[in-house]
Structure 1
Amino acid sequence: MLKLSIKNETNKLRSVILGRADSNGPTPMESEAYDPKSLEHIRAGTYPKEVDMVQEIDAFQRVLKKYDVEVLRPKRVENMNQIFTRDIGFVVDNIFVKANILPDRADEWQAIQDIVARIDPKNVIVPPEEVHIEGGDVLVWNDYLLIGTYTGTDYSDYNTARTNTAAITFMQDLFPNKKVKAFDLVKSMTDARANALHLDCCFQPVGIDKAIIYEGGFRNPEEYQFLVDLFGLENLFQITADEMYQMYSNVFSISPEVVVSEMQFTRLNHWLRAQGLHVEEIPYHEIGKQEGLLRCSTLPLYRD
């Protein structure tokens, strides 16, 4: 049996499902784009090439293995984007929750069935159909469950709205011992600089008491202020709209001391080192063109 334990976003990582890009399929049509950043690159003819994305994920895997992390991979599905495993499920404490993802992506869930089958079935939860939730919107931070959502009445008009208010109630009921806090996020189908696709696209803890944050990603100033109060303004790295677009907050912690980051994130990486963190820099720019980065590519199963 696979053991599960996720208490927060930064404890020492032992086991993770890492996405794959080795049969990513052709460049999507404009009508097939799930997010405005992918759409932008489809239109510009700069959508990432499979060979480049494979190299980037391989670099990520080498860093994970350097720190003795068990790296599990989905089964290969021909001509399917399987990079962003964070979207298809997530672990809170010792519970694995299946995400209710966009219907077009159901085969991604099938590709990790061999792994899910190794988890005690009583610890695998499948939410009801009306509960929309993806792992990028769920951050575990000790006593807190921080969850991104979108509360607009036009929710169904947005492909970029992935977690609904029904999911907040569901998670409160599933984890009664957690303090569940919802964050209403800014969404756009046309402007990637005005679209927080998931909570981890505009906020993420690092180290023991630090975090990366984009104030403009939150529709409600009080919810942004909640995070300022929780972490302390002096412990927050404030990013710009362009840095959110580049996915600055979507780095990935291997431990409280080690963060994997994109090599072009010069300003962020300098700040992380100034906080005493060791930064493992890798190329991940091409994958970032699909509005997802390092955290999006991982589904952690066990942290100490």
Structure 2
Amino acid sequence: MGEIRVESEFAPLRTVVLARSEVCIPASAREDPDMRFLPHGTVEFTGDLREADPRRQAAWEAEREAFAAVLRRHGVRILRPRPLTRAEKSAAGNRGYANFFARDPFFTVGEHVIEGSMRFRHRRGEVLPMREVFREHVYPANGSYVAVPAPEVAAPDDPSLGPGPFLEGGDVLVLGRHVFVGASGLASNTLGADWLRKYLAPHGCTVEQVRLHETILHLDCALGLVRDGLMVVCEEAFPDGVPEVLHGWDRVDVSLADAGRLATNGLPLGPDVYVTDPEFGRIGEQLERRGVTVEYVDFSVSRSLGGAFRCSTQPLRRTA
């Protein structure tokens, strides 16, 4: 594998894990208020999408392949998690299962690969298909490989899903040795941020927890760091304001409604190249005026499921 290192959200992307397209939404999710982050504010289907809507499943897979083609064209090495096994799907029971957004079940900070701890029950086994990637590419490489403690068992009627700790990669943004962790009440929580702070402190990192609007799932659904000094941001999503370390940055502003449609969830391939959906051409135009090359991929199916380009990837190497 060679070097594992993520220096920032916008350092040149060298090696990335690109998600599979597998999800089974439990029937209970249809009435779950925690699903308010979805673009339509509600679950559009339950069960395995491959069975519920094969045409939509095929379109979803085609989106991911179109995205992969862009990554390869820019010289990015792509790794893929394996599909879920029959045993893993069976063990999930009526909780549902997921293998669809590589960003969240693990994340990379500097030379540290960290398994997360997922809040939604149907996503708690999502890291399992990633472990083949870890065995082949992380174990032989430099750096550390650790895991957040498993979440405590919550009572069936506990809407909080227990004390966690919860820590998901979509909430973790890396800016050198400054690491942001989002907290909206839907994903990562304070206990998860405290664990990360304790783990990274000896390595010289500062972890800053950032409070988010209650309809925002993850921090990367409200903030995208495009290059040093330039961001795409939804001001409304930050009850306490945008983090102070980002004050003075040039910015492309988006509304809370557009943030809910994943407007900030593009992916920098480096400080001068950015991938987004043609739905957000206005954002692309503003970035192009600032000297950024913008690549467009239609990601409408992925976005309808709650994630876009950053959600679909997890870097193992981002270095200048």
Give TM-score scaled by structure 2 length: 0.81
Counterpart of 1:251 in structure 2 is 266
Counterpart of 2:71 in structure 1 is 64
Equivalent residues of 2:14, 2:318 under 8 A apart: yes
Q: Return the match for 1:266 from 281, 294, 306.
A: 281
The separation in 2 between residues aligned to 1:208 and 1:107, in whole angstroms, is 35
Counterpart of 2:159 in structure 1 is none
Q: Does 1:106 align with 2:124?
A: yes
Counterpart of 2:99 in structure 1 is 82
Q: Does 1:167 align with 2:187?
A: no
Equivalent residues of 1:89, 1:99 under 8 A apart: yes
Equivalent residues of 1:24, 1:50 under 8 A apart: no
The separation in 2 between residues aligned to 1:218 and 1:212, in whole angstroms, is 13
Equivalent residues of 1:10, 1:255 under 8 A apart: yes
CA drift of 1:104 comes to: 2.3
The separation in 1 between residues aligned to 2:103 and 2:58, in whole angstroms, is 22
Q: What code does the residue aligned with 1:50 have?
A: Q
CA drift of 1:289 comes to: 0.7
Aligned 1:73-152 pairs, distance under 5 A: 73-77=80-84, 80-101=97-118, 102-118=120-136, 119-120=138-139, 123-129=144-150, 130-150=164-184
CA drift of 1:273 comes to: 0.4
Q: Is there any run of 5+ residues in structure 2 with no aligned partner, and where? A: 46-51, 90-96, 151-163
1:100-153 deviations in whole A, cap 9, x for unaligned? 013322332111111111323871111123421000000001131011014xxx
1:273-294 deviations in whole A, cap 9, x for unaligned? 0110000101001110122111
CA drift of 1:24 comes to: 4.1
Counterpart of 1:280 in structure 2 is 295
Equivalent residues of 1:148, 1:199 under 8 A apart: yes
The separation in 2 between residues aligned to 1:93 and 1:143, in whole angstroms, is 8
1:82-102 deviations in whole A, cap 9, x for unaligned? 221101000000100101013
Q: Return the match for 2:314 from 268, 275, 299.
A: 299
Counterpart of 2:29 in structure 1 is 31
Aligned pair count reads 279
Root mean square deviation of aligned Cα: 2.3
Q: Is there any run of 5+ residues in structure 1 with no aligned partner, and where? A: 156-160, 188-194
Equivalent residues of 1:5, 1:94 under 8 A apart: yes
Q: What code does the residue aligned with 1:66 have?
A: R
Q: Does 1:9 align with 2:43?
A: no
Counterpart of 1:40 in structure 2 is 42
